[in-house]
Amino acid sequence: MTMQASVHGRLGNDPKPIQTKTGNPMCTASIAVDVSERDQEATIWIKVVAFGRLAELLERHAKGETLNAAGKLTLSKWTTTEGVERETWQLIADSIVSARSTRPGGGQRRPQQPQSRPAQQRASASFQAPAFADAIPDFG
């Protein structure tokens, strides 16, 4: 069974860099994905495999960091030598987005400092549209 999927979760361990037989970068990691329902907590583990530039990106992350990964998701089933049936989800990454790229600095959130101005004043003061010197072409 293979399907396109996007997963969001935390790295369960430091990514493991590997080099393919042809010398290309490859990296694997396990992501814990929360699939909890209203009254039951549940987590599934998905092995993420990345190649090339994505492998190098994945390798720069560490256990506990949040990632989004998208690609082909497969479910592999097998039986151990002890006769126990196992299954593993594996995602061959087409893209990886980390919390670092969506939050400047990629670090922990800083505690919010109390603000002295009302929220409406803060919102209007925090956004200022950029000035553009470009002329808009006339397509008429």
Q: Is the pLDDT of residue 122 over 80?
A: no
137 vs 88: which has the higher pLDDT: 88
The per-residue pLDDT for range 63-103, each reduced to its tens digit, is 999 999 999 999 989 899 999 999 999 999 999 998 765 55
The overall average pLDDT reported for the chain is 79
Going from the N-terminus, what domains does the chain have, and what CATH number goes with each?
2-104 (2.40.50.140)
- Listing DSSP states for 23-45 in one string gives S-EEEEEEEEEE---SS---EEE
DSSP 8-state class, residue 101: H
pLDDT band at 11 (very low <50, low <70, confident <90, very high): very high
Residue 111 pLDDT: 46
What's the whole-number mean pLDDT along residues 41-66?
Answer: 94
Residue 37 pLDDT: 86
As a whole number of angstroms, the distance between CA 98 and CA 96 comes to 7
pLDDT band at 36 (very low <50, low <70, confident <90, very high): confident
Residue 102 pLDDT: 52
Handedness of CA 21, 24, 30, 34 (dihedral sign): negative
Give the C-alpha distances (Å, rounded to integers) separating 72 from 9, 23, 47. Answer: 16, 23, 12
Say what the pTM is: 0.66
pLDDT band at 121 (very low <50, low <70, confident <90, very high): very low
Q: Is the pLDDT of residue 115 over 60?
A: no
Provide, rounded to the nearest whole percent, the portion of the chain with pLDDT above 70: 71
